[in-house]
Amino acid sequence: MKILGVETSCDETSAAVVADGRRILSNVVGSQVDLHRPYGGVVPELASRRHLELIEAIVAEALQEGSAPFEQIDAVAATYGPGLATSLLIGLNTAKGIAVSLGIPFVGINHLEAHLYSPLLIEPGGDASHSEDLFPMVSLIVSGGHTILAYATAIGHHEILGQTVDDAAGEAFDKVAKLLGLPYPGGPEIDRLARAGHPSSIEFPRSMLDDPGYNFSFSGLKTAVLYWLRKNRTHRVEDVCASFQEAVVDVLVGKLIRAAEEKDVRTVSASGGVSINSRFREQLTAECQRQGLRLLLVPAPLCTDNAAMIAALAFYKLQQGEPDSLGLDIAPSDGLGGKRFPRPVRQPAPARGKL
Ligand code: KG4
Ligand code: ZN
């Protein structure tokens, strides 16, 4: 079964064709990073306009690259939330339009759930064996908008163990990069500079690391970097990057490994933009080897936002239930596995004075 996926929840316009929920036939991602860089963050109005300009061409490219013309597509899926409202609308309505015109099922997908199950995906020419027995697993979704530790026993059966109580880890990377005068997005820049720095040169706090729960907090760390920079006018930016990064990575890896122990699972995975971080991958790989845990790291192009993960999850959703109604609305603030009931259609309010 071939599913066309569409993803426009934030600043990536993406379309993909995935076969049987696992095999990626195409995955086209149009990044808007250059558009938003001058503003130091995503500007929602610009993002939605760019999605509108790009979506048709990106869908066409995904179909062509996947050698899957519209007639061969069995279902179409799009992210319905969480994300930027005006961006979500572009992808969701595109997918609905395609479903109507082709007369095929439409599926709305929760973006966070798609990240969670993205280790199931197999890249062209990739090894399929890793995704046979994924469950039970603990998984970290760590991106610019979210930091969530989840426990999953099967597709669609998961619980949140913990999440950030303030900033997401990627947000902390981006904000600290801004303090250091580095370009947006800050994560890759900090990662690059940190390689030439000393991770133990500055003692930054490991917030909530010793807390018995699984929640995270990164806003105190960002403030600690700000105060440190005010007090220390001369510094090696590489050392600040390495020390800050080490503090984030210690907490992410520490909590993920402890969750694996306490939930008694043998499989650990990570997805989302921050999981590309080289120090995070290095430390998590070493720790998993030490503990005898199997680690599934999503390949870098599938860590950041992409439509392949949307198309993949849609396959399992269709296997487990009915397609969605075309009345499914966007849900910008939905959490992981939130309810996705279509909102009731409201009757127009009577005009004033005519009651
Ligand atoms: O998953 P993603 O593309 O978008 C969201 O859904 O948020 O993640 C983007 C985030 C940004 O905050 C970016 O700075 C961060 O991922 N990021 C990194 C790295 N590459 C991207 N953070 C740390 N190290 C990296 N190498
Ligand atoms: Zn994402």
pLDDT of 87 higher than 90:
yes
Alpha carbon distances (Å) from 171 to 35, 60, 185, 187 = 18, 33, 9, 9
Least trusted range by pLDDT, from 202-211, 249-258, 330-339: 330-339
CA torsion sign for 10, 11, 17, 23 is negative
Ligand 1 atom nearest the C-alpha of 177 is: 14
Contact 255, 209 (CB under 8 A): yes
Q: Predicted confidence band at 121 (pLDDT cuts at 50, 70, 90)?
A: confident
Query: Does 82 sit in the ligand 1 pocket, CB within 6 Å?
Result: no
Cβ(91) – ligand 1 distance below 6 Å: no
- Cα of 178 to ligand 2 centre, how many Å? 21
CATH 3.30.420.40 occupies which residues in the chain?
A: 2-120+304-320, 131-298
At 353 the pLDDT is: 41
Ligand 1: atom nearest CA of 171 is 12
Which helix (H) or strand (E) element contains residue 75? strand 75-81
Once rounded to an integer, what is the mean pLDDT over residues 226-252? 96
143, two tokens: 């991106």
Confidence of residue 298 (pLDDT cuts 50, 70, 90): confident
CA 115 to ligand 1: nearest atom? 1
CATH of range 131-298; options 3.40.190.150, 2.60.40.650, 3.30.70.890, 3.30.420.40: 3.30.420.40
Note the pLDDT of residue 342.
39
> Roughly what angle, to the nearest 10 degrees, separates helices 219-231 and 169-179?
20
Q: Is residue 331 helix, strand or coil?
A: coil
**Quick one: which atom of ligand 1 is closest to the CA of 145?**
7
Mutate to test the pocket of ligand 1, among 148, 173, 174 (most ligand atoms within 8 A of CB): 173
Please state the φ and ψ torsions of residue 48, each to the nearest 5 degrees: -70, -40
Calculate what percentage of the chain has a pLDDT beyond 90.
Answer: 83
Q: What is the pLDDT of residue 132?
A: 57
Answer for the pair 56, 350: CB distance below 8 angstroms, yes or no: no
Which residues contact residue 323 at a Cβ distance below 8 angstroms, ignoring those fewer than 6 apart?
A: 75, 105, 106, 107
* Cα of 186 from ligand 1 centre, angstroms: 8
Whole-model pTM: value is 0.91
Is 271 a pocket residue for ligand 1 (Cβ < 6 Å)?
A: no
Indicate whether residue 187 lines ligand 1 (CB < 6 A): yes
Indicate whether 150 pLDDT > 70: yes
Rounded (5°) CA angle 39-42-47: 115
Q: Which ligand is nearest to the CA of 194?
A: 1
- The whole-number pLDDT of residue 141 equals 96
Which atom number of ligand 1 is nearest to the Cα of residue 186?
14
C-beta of 218 in contact with ligand 1 (< 6 A): no
Name the token pair of 77: 């899926």
Closest ligand 1 atom to Cα of 280? 24
Give per-residue pLDDT as tens, 42-75: 899 999 999 999 999 999 999 999 999 999 999 9
Give me the pLDDT at residue 124, please: 66
In the structure, ligand 2 is a single-atom ion and the residues with CB under 5 Å from it are 143, 305
Question: If you measure from the C-alpha of residue 168 to the centroid of ligand 1, how many angstroms do you get, rounded to a whole number?
Answer: 10
- Cα 110 to ligand 2 centroid, rounded to whole Å: 10
Task: Evaluate: CB of 162 within 6 angstroms of ligand 1.
Answer: no
According to the CATH classification, is domain 2-120+304-320 in 3.30.420.40? yes
- Indicate the range of 2-6, 108-112, 119-123, 164-168 predicted with least confidence: 119-123
Contact 117, 155 (CB under 8 A): yes
Q: Which of 118, 304, 336 to mutate to test the pocket of ligand 1 (most atoms within 8 A of CB)?
A: 304
Whose alpha carbon is nearest atom 21 of ligand 1? Answer: 273
Distance of CA 36 from the midpoint of ligand 2 (Å):
17
Query: What is the position in ligand 1's atom list of the atom closest to the CA of 278?
Result: 26
CB-based contact 20:315 (threshold 8 Å): yes
Cβ of residue 32 lying under 6 Å from some atom of ligand 1: no
